[in-house]
Amino acid sequence: MGYLAFITVVWAFSFNLIGEYLAGRVDSDFAVLTRVVLALLVFLPLLRARGFAVARILGTIAAGALQFGLTYLLLYRSFAYLSVPEVLLFTIFTPIYITLLDDAFRGRFTPRASLAALIAIAGSAIIRYDGLSGDFLTGFLLLQLANLSFALGQIGYKWLVARHPSDLPPRAGFGWFFVGALLVALPSFLIFGNPARLPTTALQWSVLVYMGLVASALGFFWWNKGASLVDAGTLGAMNNTHIPIGIALHMLIWGSDENVGRLVLGGAVIGLALWLNEHWRRRAAPAGTAQRTGA
């Protein structure tokens, strides 16, 4: 879970950078495309085809197209219909999609994983529920498609790693993930992008470089590596920990005015979800065994 925890902080910080320096200033399609290209350049020298099953390569491309490309394009577009609090609130459904998709892939139903996700959602709702605007259906649907796409990409990659292991290190095949994201981001920019809204300051370019090299290249690699090592309940709960961490960072760095009591209470509920899932997993595991999954 260490990979997931570290990247949660990275992504929480990145969310603040996007909100402060990119949103409404830099074309969202260009921002996503830049992140994809920079991340792909990091993994391109390491990219290998031989040593990986064709199904794993194609599946990794599909996971990147869903988890990175489609997710971020839908997420950015939802801001045209929803306020920031509404966007944050409606992302809390992701853990449910993760547990349901994981059960669907395995042909089973796991009540404890779904319960952990529901508890995490409750914690996130405590933090971010500020009321809803009257005209939000379009934005809500866009964001749910983004949540579903993000969840499907995570569970799909987790399933691929377990089903098609390789003797090569995971970094040798992860470049295909960003190839998939590029297949979505490039056409979207060419069709919908606005060249008049490219970055105009060194700070904006610096943020994009950070987002590409750290939040995207390192972020998605370590997040998916961590996702392949934990069960669906933990993964689902971890998908909502960015909310209290992101708000706390915004308070500390930019001095935003937030309800500290709700932040602490909601964060405690999310922490409870993680603890309960781990506790239930250990009780359910046979004595002397440990969960092992290839990455």
pLDDT tens-digit map of 242-256:
777 777 777 777 776
Q: How far apart are CA 13 and CA 275, in angstroms?
A: 24
Q: pLDDT band for position 289 (50/70/90)?
A: very low
Q: pLDDT band for position 136 (50/70/90)?
A: low
pLDDT at 169 > cutoff 50: yes
Mean pLDDT score across all residues of the chain: 84
pLDDT at 23 > cutoff 60: yes
State the burial class of residue 21 (Cβ atoms within 10 Å of its Cβ: 0-12, 13-18, 19+). middle
pLDDT at 294 > cutoff 80: no
Q: How far apart are CA 70 and CA 56, in angstroms?
A: 20
Write the secondary structure of the chain as one string of H (helix), E (strand) and C (coil).
CHHHHHHHHHHHHHHHHHHHHHCCCCCHHHHHHHHHHHHHHHHHHHCCCCCCCHHHHHHHHHHHHHHHHHHHHHHHHHCCCCCHHHHHHHHHHHHHHHHHHHHHHHCCCCHHHHHHHHHHHHHHHHHHCCCCCCCCHHHHHHHHHHHHHHHHHHHHHHHHHHHCCCCCCHHHCCHHHHHHHHHHHHHHHHHHCCHHHCCCCHHHHHHHHHHHHHHHHHHHHHHHHHHCCCCHHHHHHHCCCHHHHHHHHHHHHHCCCCCHHHHHHHHHHHHHHHHHHHHHHHHHCCCCCCCCCCC
Model confidence over 66-96: pLDDT tens digits?
A: 999 999 889 878 877 776 666 766 777 788 8
First to last CA, the chain: 13
Q: Is 131 left (phi over 0), alpha (psi -120 to 50) or beta?
A: left
Model confidence over 194-214: pLDDT tens digits?
A: 999 999 999 999 999 999 999
What is the pLDDT, as a whole number, of residue 231? 83
For range 204-233, the mean pLDDT: 92
Residue that is written with structure tokens 């065994």 in the block: 289
